[in-house]
Amino acid sequence: MRSLDRFAQMKLDDLERRHLRRALAETVREDGIWVERGGKRLLSFSCNDYLNLSQHPAVKAAAIAAVETYGAGSGASRLVTGNHPLYAELERRLARIKDTEDAVVFGSGYLANAGIIPVLIGRDGLVLIDALAHACLYAGAQLSRGRVVTFHHNDLAHARYLLATHRAEHDDALIVTDGVFSMDGDLAPLGALNDLANEYDAWLMSDDAHGLGVVGGGRGSSFAGPAHVPVPLQMGTLSKAVGAYGGYLCASAAVIELMRNRARTLIYSTGLPPAIVAAAIAALDVIESEPDYIARPVAKARAFTRLTNLPEAQSPIVPVLIGDEEDALAASHRLEDEGFLAVAIRPPTVPAGTARLRLTFTAHHPDDEIERLAQVVRDNILVR
């Protein structure tokens, strides 16, 4: 065997031994919630399409119309000829929702985080990052080549201690956190973090991938508390509740203009397909105009946590912690036997020893199925 293949096989064998090998499972999403997978029809609690907008007739119609008008692909980087007219409308809408001067749209959430952080922080800078922040925030922090220091999850005292210890050694400092944590569903204390950032002349960046459309009246985590928190760097993605694709940053006009000039993942990557930008705009129409509808995912998650005596859901994401990887896989299979899809989440997506089922609730999940899921989880998974 060639050394390359030998290397790959050795790595795969190691993953297999540790129950960490993953496989791509072909999944046909029939509508927002029912899927076909491995020959079975399952009710999915493993999808981030919280408002089922990927299937909304107006969203699909907008995408189709954009293909007819502008074609399938954008043809070039936005800075060359890929900046089709729909971008301006989408960025205007995002800035309005987030109450910032401007916004810029990237190819994906991952690309946004990988691009934004290195524009703001260089070798002399400091990035303070929550321990449970998303992998792509870590990727952006590492790409910055600055000093990266992790604070305990949502632990303000630890963040303060690290700033007091390290801030003075660096020219610039950035505090980075998820707004809604992707694997735990809890919210960051954005108000207190913003105060801390101001106190130490650091800049706060929140990743609201799982907040836009579902918390804070649809405007996201900086609007979820008693008072709006003016987080200066509000990043997010259009791939979850918005039901489309792409990432964004909402910030001041100067910061956004700097991103357009310096963010490598924006400059050196092709613009999004027009259909996806049109779909995102149509989805924002729903998010901005249907408050009762957008309240449903969190309400359904709360119904589930009430029925299972789990801590009250703060977002549509509910973790059912299991611990061991093999046990998490077994729990997932148990739910599959009952007709539910709940994919086991294992390290390195979550810390070692915290393998789990990550359940996500959407506007369309039937209440009686949530009750049945709660009963199965209560009787078979939480009792162990």
148 vs 381 by CB, closer to ligand PLP: 148
CB of residue 326 to ligand PLP, shortest distance in Å? 25
Q: Which of 134, 170, 240, 300 is catalytic?
A: 240
Sheet holding 233-237, edge to edge: 102-106, 247-251, 233-237, 203-207, 173-178, 126-130, 147-151
308 vs 362 by CB, closer to ligand PLP: 362
Q: Which residue is nearest to ligand PLP (CB)?
A: 109
- The Cα 190–Cα 160 span in angstroms is 14
Half-sphere exposure of residue 333, counting CA atoms within 13 Å on the CB side? 6
CB of residue 237 to ligand PLP, shortest distance in Å? 4
CB of residue 6 to ligand PLP, shortest distance in Å? 32
174 vs 209 by CB, closer to ligand PLP: 209
CB of residue 367 to ligand PLP, shortest distance in Å? 26
Binding site for ligand PLP (CB under 6 A): 108-110, 134, 136, 178, 182, 207, 209-210, 237, 239, 247
CB of residue 295 to ligand PLP, shortest distance in Å? 21
Give catalytic status of residue 19 as yes or no: no
Distances (CA, A) of 171 to 127, 168, 174, 202, 258: 11, 8, 11, 10, 18
Find out whether 321 and 327 touch, Cβ atoms under 8 Å.
no
132 vs 381 by CB, closer to ligand PLP: 132
List helix spans (H) across the chain: 3-17, 57-70, 86-98, 109-120, 135-144, 156-166, 190-199, 253-262, 264-267, 274-289, 291-294, 296-308, 325-337, 367-376
Q: Which of 46, 144, 182, 221 is catalytic?
A: 182
Give catalytic status of residue 60 as yes or no: no
- The Cα 133–Cα 113 span in angstroms is 11
153 vs 378 by CB, closer to ligand PLP: 153
355 vs 376 by CB, closer to ligand PLP: 355
Q: In which element (H, E) is residue 42 found? A: strand 40-44
239 vs 362 by CB, closer to ligand PLP: 239
- DSSP sequence for 130-158: ETT--HHHHHHHHHHTSEEEEE-TT-HHH
CB of residue 187 to ligand PLP, shortest distance in Å? 12
Q: Which of 98, 210, 300, 365 is catalytic?
A: 210
CB of residue 1 to ligand PLP, shortest distance in Å? 34
3-state helix, strand, coil in the chain (%, to 5): 45, 20, 35
Bridge partners (DSSP) listed for residue 34: 43
Torsional class of 263: left (φ above 0), alpha (ψ -120 to 50), beta (otherwise):
beta
Find out whether 11 and 318 touch, Cβ atoms under 8 Å.
no
Give catalytic status of residue 210 as yes or no: yes
- The Cα 280–Cα 58 span in angstroms is 11
Catalytic center residues = 182, 210, 240
